[in-house]
Amino acid sequence: MRSCAARLFSILTTSIALAQFCDASNGRIIAMGDEWLLSDRAFAQQPAQSTQLADNISKFFADNEPSRFLVLSNSGPINFPGQRGVLGTALKDRMLALGHTWEVNPSVPFTLATLRQYRGVFFSGAVGSGSTNAQVLESYVREGGNVLVMAGTGDIGGPASEASAWNFFLNKFGLSFGDAWFAIKSGGALLSVPALPSGNPLGKLISVVEWDNGQTVINLAPDNPLVEIAVYGNFTGFSPLLPSGAVQPIIGTVNILTKCLGDLNNDGIVDDADFVIFAAAYNLLLCADGTMPAGCPCDFNKDGFVDDVDFQIFIQSYGLPICL
């Protein structure tokens, strides 16, 4: 049974013309607790799962539309052949196969003007971290840009230093890296950790991740539907464990609400007319429904449904009615 909000929507939406929609651009953040998750070694040990995770990121950031991505990292290879973090050749090859442009460490200034040229920016290591860069990244995602950050690299000192360097940015949006490393490999392979995905689309079909000495991703705003833990890891049998237990949050996401996100008829105002359009999509529920408008623009968190989570997001947009 749908919520009481659904019953209210049903009264308001008997036969509604769905003529105009704006595919609002809202930025997204992905925070990953370990750089090995998408490393060349991960693709070698778990090719299907690593490919699925890369595909989920492509969908989450660009809805699988060919896009221009920027990669900035100083996380060079250690311990295993191949690259780690966002510098992996296998990750690059997968993104190219999906139709994206993948530009690695170009000689460009770290400015908002530079980042605006890209659909998303991928980080591991020190590049892009710190309080000054956080201001640039905040402006970028609030304009609709996408940012992925990996921790656990050891490229900014210890775990507390790495968390501090990136939390200038992440804390602005309700996420944080934990300040301790945990679960270290033994022998010549990464740890294959069972994954416990939430309903977040980034965790779709992910059952195992590759790990070595990473950090947690903490949701600082559990009551905010825009902030979610997408994947938990079950580290039972691995060591060292954190005092809080074997199951730990390892991938977090944020949907950055833009002031025009709820402007579904593209008239520059989020008002009752947009509510009526949203309500019609809410009653359909499934983005796969043949009568749902193309692109399912009311599915703000891109999980395949127009549901109560999207309603909460819409209401936040409704509180900022003038699109700037």
Residue 44 contacts residue 82 (beta carbons within 8 Å): yes
Amino acid 258: pLDDT: 55
Amino acid 229: pLDDT: 95
Kind and range of the H or E element at 80? none
DSSP state of 73: E
SS3 content of the chain, % helix, strand, coil (to 5): 30, 20, 45
Helix, strand, or coil (residue 124) = strand
Residues (pLDDT < 50) of the chain are 1-24, 321-322, 324
Amino acid 267: pLDDT: 67
Tokens 């950090």 sit at which residue? 215
DSSP 177-216: E-S--B----SSS-EEEEEEE-SSGGGTT--EEEESSB--
Amino acid 260: pLDDT: 64
Residue 123 contacts residue 137 (beta carbons within 8 Å): no
d(CA 26, CA 140): 11
User: What is the tens place of the pLDDT at every residue in 241-252?
Assistant: 999 999 999 999
Helices and strands, number each (H, E), in the chain: 9, 11
Amino acid 34: pLDDT: 97
Does this model's pTM top 0.85? My answer is: no
Other beta carbons less than 10 A from residue 40's beta carbon: 23
| Structural domains in the chain, sorted by start | 4-24+262-318 (no CATH), 28-255 (3.40.50)
- 146 Cβ contact list (under 8 Å, min separation 6): 27, 28, 29, 30, 60, 61, 62, 119, 120, 121
Omega within 30 of 0 (cis) for the link into 109: no
Kind and range of the H or E element at 82? none
Tokens 């892009």 sit at which residue? 128
d(CA 131, CA 22): 34
Residue 313 contacts residue 254 (beta carbons within 8 Å): no
Helix axes 131-142, 159-170, angle to 10 degrees: 40
Residue 178 contacts residue 170 (beta carbons within 8 Å): no
Encode 247-313 in three state secondary structure. EEEEEEEEECCCCCCCCCCCCCECCHHHHHHHHHHHHHCECCCCCCCCCCCCCCCCCCECCHHHHHH
